Chains A and B, each alone.
Chain A
Amino acid sequence: DIVMTQSPDSLAVSLGERATINCKSSQSVLHSSNNKNYLAWYQQKPGQPPKLLIYWASTRESGVPDRISGSGSGTDFTLTISSLQAEDVAVYFCQQYYSGRTFGQGTKVEIK
């Protein structure tokens, strides 16, 4: 199984500042046939189901604010919130869907 490891486990960021979450896969999730990274990011707020933010590593889901972006390729990926808002407080998960489907352990984002 592909293991997904996120860092840090939690971070506290001031309102308006940048938040950066890293996700590393134990093997590449870049498919050579279509040059796509099989990597998604989700946001989960307390008591709610996860919400899709990003797929194919960098494609923003409809309705997701453009302050949230995804980048990376192969085994190393990043989710960036360029200017943290109060509504961004949540746990964020990365997920690979290249081989099976596995999630990172989650990163909790709080306001400093």
Chain B
Amino acid sequence: EVQLLESGGTLVQPGGSLRLSCAASGFTFSSYAMSWVRQAPGKGLEWVSGLSGSGGSTYYADSVKGRFTISRDNSKNTLYLQMNSLRAEDTAVYYCAKFRSNSINDAFDIWGQGTMVTMSS
């Protein structure tokens, strides 16, 4: 069964850092581009970041560029999101999502259950 399992979400202070992980199973991880998409409480979906199957090409939304870093370890079938200089507006459920192909110009066909990141004041 194809599965994505996120972890690492927690309560964090503004200005702090956090690393999210996403463990993939059931498919050839290195053959697919991967992404993070977030959803603030009661709000819509916002694409955050994506990267190619090799990890050689990375892409970011303007709202997180320079603060977040996406990476992957294909030997561990795991996707990461390093989040620095966190702001109140970063509070959201963060979903790990698989692209249908190794192109980031494609739809997301598999989503994890999400991990909650909350800024505490």
Contact = CB atoms under 8 A, between A and B. Distances in A.
A binds B: yes
A68 to B, nearest CB: 15
B104 A101 contact: yes
B109 A101 contact: no
A65 interface: no
Interface stretch (B11-19, B20-28, B44-52, B80-88): B44-52
Nearest to B110: A52
Contact of A103 (B44, B104, B111): B44
A104 B106 CA distance: 16
A51 B46 CA distance: 15
Interface string A40-66: 101000001111100100000100000
B45 A38 contact: no
Pairs A-B, 6 closest by C-beta atoms: A49-B111, A40-B107, A55-B107, A101-B47, A103-B45, A52-B109
Interface of B: 35, 44-47, 50, 61, 95, 100, 104-109, 111-114
Interface of A: 38, 40, 42, 48-52, 55, 61, 93, 95, 97-98, 100-106
Given A52-B109, A55-B109, A103-B46, 9 more contacts: A38-B105, A49-B112, A49-B113, A55-B100, A55-B106, A93-B45, A95-B45, A101-B35, A101-B50
